[in-house]
Amino acid sequence: MSALIVENVNKQYGSHRVVKNISLKIEAGERVALLGHNGAGKTTLIKMMLGLVPISSGTISMLGEIVGSRKARKLSGYLPENVAFHGSLTGREQMHHFAALKSIAKKTADEILERVGLSHAIDRRIGTYSKGMRQRVGLAQALLGKPKLVLLDEPTSGLDPISRHDFYDIIEELSGGGTMVLISSHALTEMETRMDRIVIMSNGQMVANDRIENLRQHANLPIRINIMADEKSAALIAKTLSGKRINGHIVELFCNGDEKINLLKRISNMKEKISDIDIAPASLEELYRFYSAPQDEEGEQENV
């Protein structure tokens, strides 16, 4: 059974359609990145998955349970966007409260706080925490009770690079244990290598839903090649390969996937003049821009 099944889901506020006919299936242990610009409908979709916001039409189920039911709530963990706990409680008190709601031992709650790296501040009031520390409390409560599905809305905002690294380690552990993880984020570069699948939303529609390699292939965006050389050779290389010099030492070339090998052959013919070469396929950021660009005809890219 799939961990999460979304079928033909729509959300309408008055005449404004926020989420348009989305169908999506996520398996246990899968890590999915949900991308989209502000107002694309990500948060609304996540809230519908949790039963927080009524669905206008369509169905969503979690491991066969109706979303929002007590069983479904016990199966899932959630981190809302920009969560701020009551400042006068300590991290430990807040966690013990959440643990009690899920009938989980206090000791387990303390262990999870330790796991997210808050053991030094566990008895300090949350009001004194930094944004990153509050975010960790949020993550910790989402991990309570070994959930089968974890939905995280902008989880890494406010985290420093080291904390982000720790964060993705925890995500990897979770998915290794069979937990489905859905992360909505703007931090595209860190999602590129960490996620199994990318879902992109634009104006309430799902415009992409695939592994990043497949998205790359389908988008067929040019590959960027940077050639480093000394100034004299750079001028020559730029001329022969009709590339662009971006500073004295670097020549930039773009090519499609099928021209790549030929171009590299031509470059290697001049290998005495070249000091280094850098080849980069389209980044997630470029792919994101490609897929979320406004479309001329509605639905043109719907079945990616």
Binding site for other proteins (CB under 8 A): 47, 50-54, 70, 73-74, 76-78, 80-86, 88-89, 93, 97-98, 100-102, 138, 141
Q: How far is the CB of 77 from other proteins (least distance, A)?
A: 8
Q: How far is the CB of 93 from other proteins (least distance, A)?
A: 6
Q: Provide CB contacts within 8 A for 97, sequence distance 6+.
A: 89
Q: CA torsion 127→132→137→138, rounded to 10°?
A: 110
- Nearest distance from residue 84's CB to other proteins, in Å? 4
Give 17 or 289: the residue with its C-beta nearer to other proteins: 17
Q: Which is nearer to other proteins, 15 or 88 (CB)?
A: 88
Minimum CB–partner distance for residue 81 and other proteins (Å): 7
Token output for 14:
């008055």
Q: How far is the CB of 79 from other proteins (least distance, A)?
A: 8
Closest CB to other proteins among residues 53, 200: 53
Minimum separation from the CB atom of position 44 to other proteins (A):
10
Strand partners, 9: 22
* Nearer CB in complex with other proteins: 46/229: 46
Distance of closest approach, residue 74 Cβ to other proteins, in angstroms: 5
Q: What is the DSSP letter of 208?
A: E
**The token pair that represents 191 in the structure block:** 């999602």
DSSP state of 90: B
Shorter beta-carbon distance to other proteins: residue 79 or 223: 79
* DSSP secondary structure letter of residue 243: -
- The residue (of 26 and 267) whose beta carbon lies closer to other proteins is 26
Running DSSP on this structure, what letter comes out for residue 125?
B
Residue 67 tokens read as: 């979303």
Of 24 and 62, the one with the shorter C-beta distance to other proteins is 62
Q: How far apart are the first and last CA of the chain?
A: 24
Task: Name which of 292, 38, 153, 17 is nearest 304 in CA terms.
Answer: 292
DSSP assigned state of 222: P
**C-beta of 195: minimal distance to other proteins in Å?**
22
Q: Which is nearer to other proteins, 147 or 243 (CB)?
A: 147
Q: Which stretches of the chain are assigned E, i.e. beta strand?
A: 4-13, 16-26, 31-35, 57-62, 65-66, 76-79, 149-153, 180-184, 197-202, 205-210, 223-229, 244-247, 250-255, 274-280
Q: CB-based contacts of 65: which residues, under 8 Å, 6+ apart?
A: 71, 72, 75
CA–CA separation, 195 and 181 (whole Å): 9
